[in-house]
Amino acid sequence: MAQQELNARYAAVVEYRGSDFKGWQSQDGERTVQRCVEQGLSNVAGQPISVITAGRTDSGVHATGQVIHFDSPVERTDRAWVMGANTDLPFDIRLRAAQRVSDDFHARFKAIRRSYRYIILNQREASAVYGQLVTHEYRKINVSAMQKATTYLTGENDYSSFRASGCQARSPVRTITKLEVASAGPWIWIDVVANAFLQHMVRNLVGVLLTIGAGEEPVEWAKTVLQAKDRTKGGVTGRPEGLYLAKVEYPTEFAIIMPVPKPVRFW
């Protein structure tokens, strides 16, 4: 008997180490996360599967809680999607969970909050073990100064000074509900939660905070950069290695109950 065709929508959580990928988005001739994930899911479905992501990540950026959705003409159990795809996926990508969702769910457009964590190893020498997983900062960083600077950068603002020149977002206005800096020994981490992010926004925020933490600019410089609405006033962009997409949240009506791991830490 021929298998009945349908149009089932599924959501899934994807975890990956971005070190050896040219970012999320598929590119001809390049190893990307999207291409690998689609290949793994296509093998489970027995036919081509295309995925939509909550947010694209750059080369070298990692994720512990990336969310995708995809439509399948064949039905599979949640466990079959996860186990089947992981059998074919490379060691640096894993599906953590999958579930059937309503047809109006959209991984990108229905997301209401996204959380990132940026991890810095603040010591003279770089780490041989964590080199591709964290950002090394040899300068002595004043965490207290960084914490004070965050107060100028939260809320609903025009973040033009923190967007990449090639950013295609229609509006530079975003709402940051959380921007916190904490430390333990040589480790410094920055947690950022917002309704959405501009291209390179988190890394540019980190660049400003680290410049202040290194004593190269005063705390109030964060406000100056924000008010300038000019990327050229914002200083360097933080390196991609320390950045993790940690979590994506959706309205409760979609009942997204997939287990999302807590933001990564090494200490």
* C-beta of residue 40 within 8 angstroms of C-beta of residue 80: no
Neighbours of 199 (CB within 10 A): 18
Cβ within 8 Å of residue 16, ≥6 positions away: 33, 62, 63, 66, 92, 93, 94
List 52's β-bridge partners, or say none. 69
Element (H, E) at 3: none
Return the ∠ at Cα 90 (arms to 84 and 96), rounded to 5°: 55
Query: Integer distance in angstroms from the first to the last C-alpha of the chain?
Result: 55
Give the separation between CA 158 and CA 154, rounded to whole angstroms: 11
Q: Specify whether 103 is catalytic.
A: no
CA distance 56 to 32: 11
Report helix, strand or coil for 233.
Answer: helix
Helix (H) or strand (E) run with residue 131 in it: none
Catalytic residue among 20, 28, 58, 78: 58
Q: How many residues are recorded in the chain?
A: 267
Determine contact, residues 106/52, Cβ cutoff 8 Å.
Answer: yes
Element containing residue 179 per DSSP (H, E): strand 173-184
Catalytic residues: 58
